[in-house]
Amino acid sequence: MMGGLGVHTSDAASVVPDKPATLARLRDMGLVGMGGAGFPTHVKYDAKVDTVLANGAECEPLLWTDKQYMLHWPHDLVRGMEVAIETVGAERGVIGIKGKYTAVVEAVESALAARGGGSPPMEVCPLPNFYPAGDEFSLVQQALGRTIPELGLPLDVGVVVSNTATLHHLARAVLHGEPLTSRLVTICGEVRAPVVVEAPVGTPVADLIAAAGGLTRDDVTLVDGGPMMGHVVPFDAAMKKTCSGIVVLPTAQPLVQRKLEGADAKLRVAQAACCSCQECTQVCPRNALGHRIYPHRLMQSLASGITHDVRAYLGSLLCCECGLCTEFGCPQYLDPCRMNIETKQLLRAQGISYPDPQETEPSKFFHIQQVPASRLAARLGLTRYLDRGMIPMAPEPLRPARVDLALSQGIGQPCRPVVAAGDRVVRRQVVAEPGGPISATLHASIDGVVQRVDDTTIVVRRDP
């Protein structure tokens, strides 16, 4: 039995609280989006839509976290969908899963069949194997045929999108009163035994690597999240609620070098080497949806010092930061994605916002512009890791000697500590309360003693 995630039991007699009570419980159980930015779930679900869309695409190469959630606990996913549908007043639920993962699709479809149909209707939508299938704009278009407008949200087209891991923990929180204190994490790449393991929130990254048998080489860099959108972290970092994986890659790998290079160096190379080929724009998933983002025009403008192409600069505000323009599009080893990010940050710092967001129609080439995940992995030099096949689940949860609980677990205000150094705490005990309306409660993820509390972190050491 997994230590914090539980096993499926019949929820037939479970009663979903009314909407205010459900939202309050989601906040008090510390639930945030577990597929990326960590937006508090109780804020997202304070809405009225017609469809709940579960994001099980897990489009980042190498990760197996969401797929293992669905393989081992498909019934919790279904119950989470039922709670989500009732909370937001939706009429149906759709679960997006890449069709190539037949065992995952079959597990979820079996769980749907076990509920015996009825209301609300739910179905699996098999997705093609492309990147970024898990981007919510692309997912909503692929699964529902709806186009989210520029700078929009799924809410604008009547949809709430939640990661399948979030929905698993939503069911555990609302129906069983279990706060979010642990999650599955993939550890892969240059490790001896790639694994998906359940780990307490705040587990040191070094402990995660040890759980995967340790490193296979010394000259490596750690990426928190997937290879494409993940960020580099030091060896003394600790996992947050949003950590779906730790990918260990050779530092010399071009993918890693691009993450480590500074923006000024990237701009200097662009000034010398951009050939205006437009390949970066051709692979941009937002451009494929008709959004007015043109990475090639931004690169030309930056390289030549052009200031009159205002739309090129404003288009950076529409960038989803997926990295395709850089890692797959550009033949010159340039970084249009980073240039978009830097420009977006500068515009926002100056108080400049996108002036005229519009509803759009996807390109007639939308489906053929999608980048196959296998080709992307080959381009990134990751095929040798994929050849290992499915990454297995560890039989037992990790038991770190200490956890470092970040007061900021995602988007929104950081939590306020309610414990002090020397306090004894037990797992699931509240250690920090929400710091504002866009914040969620933080709980102890192990039994132990609080060693330190500062402006950013609560450190708890496990009882001997």
Distance CA 316, CA 44 (A): 25
Residue-number span of the structural domain to which 273 is assigned: 262-375
Residue 198 and residue 151 share a domain? no
Across the range 161-165, mean pLDDT stands at 97
Range list of β-strands (E), 312-429: 371-372, 402-406, 416-417, 424-425
In a domain, 3, yes or no: no
In a domain, 13, yes or no: no
Residue 210 and residue 288 share a domain? no
In a domain, 49, yes or no: yes
The answer, yes or no, to whether residue 304 has pLDDT greater than 90, is no
Residue 457 and residue 385 share a domain? no
**pLDDT tens, residue by residue, 245-278:** 999 999 999 999 999 988 788 777 777 788 889 9
CATH code assigned at 417: 2.40.50.100
Q: Which two tokens stand for residue 277?
A: 């080929």
Q: Which of 5-14, 84-93, 122-131 has the lowest mean pLDDT?
A: 5-14
* Sheet with strand 195-200: strands edge to edge: 195-200, 182-189, 245-250, 220-224, 231-233
**pLDDT tens, residue by residue, 353-386:** 999 999 999 999 898 889 999 999 999 999 999 9
Residue 43 and residue 150 share a domain? yes
Backbone angles phi, psi at 452, to 5 degrees: -155, 145
Residue 248 and residue 394 share a domain? yes
User: What global pTM score does this model have?
Assistant: 0.94
Residue 168 and residue 113 share a domain? yes
DSSP annotation of 119 reads: S
Task: State which amino acid sits at residue 265.
Answer: A
Q: How many domains does the chain have?
A: 4
In a domain, 104, yes or no: yes
15 pLDDT band, cuts 50/70/90, is: low
In a domain, 418, yes or no: yes
Distance CA 211, CA 205 (A): 10
Report percent pLDDT > 70 for the chain: 97
Distance CA 439, CA 410 (A): 8
CATH code assigned at 46: 3.40.50.11540
In a domain, 157, yes or no: yes
Torsion angle in degrees (nearest 10) through CA of 232, 236, 239, 245 = 50
Beta carbons within 8 Å of 95's beta carbon, 6+ residues apart = 53, 54, 56, 77, 81, 108, 122, 123, 124, 125, 164
Continuous segment of H or E residues that includes residue 107: helix 102-114
